[in-house]
A and B are shown apart, each in its own frame.
Chain A
């Protein structure tokens, strides 16, 4: 929402017979992409390096933050509330202004691309909330994921249904009518339909029951073992680190600890501050 919404206590914007604020976006869709740059030798598959920036003209949220993911691996971002985990993810996806640093994917510098073009460059993103098209059917949701593809999407559709059998049974139902866990599955499925080269998940297990959470983690591991690099933000630090090949602990928008999941689990400071002993 923009600053203008707050003006006059948001009057008028609540009169739904003249305005339709539902589903409004926050990303500027009019922005054009800049040119692609050269990558650097020895880069990981996807790296957001030394990122510094914040939303709009606001204060910086990220400070010299670096996040990377290698091919075939799972990288997780953990940290306390307000550490800038989701913001780091959004920065990698081009949803906020970086004052410093760059984002490089597969040997190219994509820092100047807008989010739409990053999707075309091979990035798939599942936001934390509002990650489905509620009035469209499950199948239409998945079709929209494959919007940029011009080839036959049937095989990918079958793969997604195989991965998430629960939603396959409800393919004709409106996605907004599904349960929280099933919505998350549709959301992940939608991103997979793009056939991305890297999958980014922003708290995929937020607000789902523990059983569903375990199942989602299983699926994510299955996706990563299939060769698709996964970068995710996670609240459940312990579980996330168990499956992580690489983990980043962010504190106040900066890297605090980096290492493999196992290393960080054994690190005393990390255990004390984030894992509760």
Chain B
């Protein structure tokens, strides 16, 4: 019984939240890695574009809610995703046309694209402020729980309860579907292969008759889709505050680099690795240990927490540094050798 209770505590406080967070990071890192692989720079505007896309989702969701549209038990935000992706795609395409295309035409050094993306980040940040402000917003509706603590306790008779929020299940499920679709697209379709070809060798892609500008547009559209989905899932699961999206840029980059930049599979693995480490290091393990080793007394007030939650970003930093020191190509072979 105690082992089961420990397992339930672990699932409830570590595994499920980390899996949902990992899925969000993985989607974000996929976008970063795609832009790195094909457009050849790390997109610092990723987090803030996610914030902007999510702001559109929230506004559309409010509109739908006001109209009385609902798809119970799923959150209404899912309906708003598609038009929001389209609008965000238009925004990033306009950004590309106004900013990045200029440098592409000049064959500018990639580091210049990185710096330009920092500028775009500030602009996106400002646009988000204008659109929705800096405060916390909520958009979740629909069923809150798939399993709640009380039902779980009554069902199993265990002391500890397990809660599975619908947004968590939705996050993992939708992320899984999106990842499969992306892999299918990149490995099986003509356009997806053209994107990989462009990533491998730009000039030869052009000499094969592939229109480079079309590849660039396609990449931005897919990246916009990934950004809005990742951002909305994060907003549904936690809550929406634009500043948080700037902050998760670090774990997203860490995930992409840990997995191996330019490698989509690595981005997914990296996302989950960073998320699980972050949650595991900042979780107070005293209750789990209490069930597993009741004879052990950690002492009064010892929560057995390695780091306070306010230090969670340090975890990404440490992982990043360790990987860059010992395996700079990332866990999966990326393009950064």
Contact = CB atoms under 8 A, between A and B. Distances in A.
A20 B336 CA distance: 7
| Interface of chain B: mostly helix, strand, loop or mixed | helix
A27 B337 contact: no
Contact of A17 (B207, B208, B324): B324
A14 to B, nearest CB: 9
B257 to A, nearest CB: 6
Interface string B131-170: 0000000000000000000000000000000000000000
Interface of A: 1-2, 4-5, 7, 10-13, 15-30, 93, 115-116, 119-120, 125, 127, 130-136, 140, 143-145, 147-148, 190, 194
B129 interface: no
13 contacts: A16-B335, A16-B337, A18-B111, A19-B109, A20-B110, A23-B200, A24-B40, A27-B206, A116-B212, A119-B208, A132-B204, A135-B200, A147-B197
B208 A190 contact: yes
A136 B257 contact: no
Contacts of A18: 41-42, 111, 114
Contacts of A17: 42, 257, 261, 324, 328, 336
Interface stretch (B49-57, B73-81, B87-95, B188-196): B188-196
Contact of A26 (B42, B114, B203): B203
B109 A4 contact: yes
Interface stretch (B99-107, B171-179, B292-300, B305-313): B99-107
Nearest to A32: B213
A136 B210 CA distance: 16
Given A30-B101, A147-B209, A194-B208, A19 B41 contact: yes
A67 B111 CA distance: 40
Most B Cβ at <10 Å: residue of A15, A116, A194: A116
B173 to A, nearest CB: 31
B104 A21 contact: no
Given A130-B201, A136-B193, A30 B213 contact: yes
A127 B42 contact: no
Given A5-B109, A133-B196, A136-B193, A27 B203 contact: yes
B112 A4 contact: yes
Given A17-B324, A133-B204, A136-B196, A22 B109 contact: no
Closest 8 CB pairs of A and B: A25-B202, A29-B212, A16-B336, A19-B110, A12-B111, A148-B209, A119-B209, A2-B107
A235 B206 CA distance: 26
A33 B257 CA distance: 39
B41 A145 contact: no
Interface in B106-138: 106-114
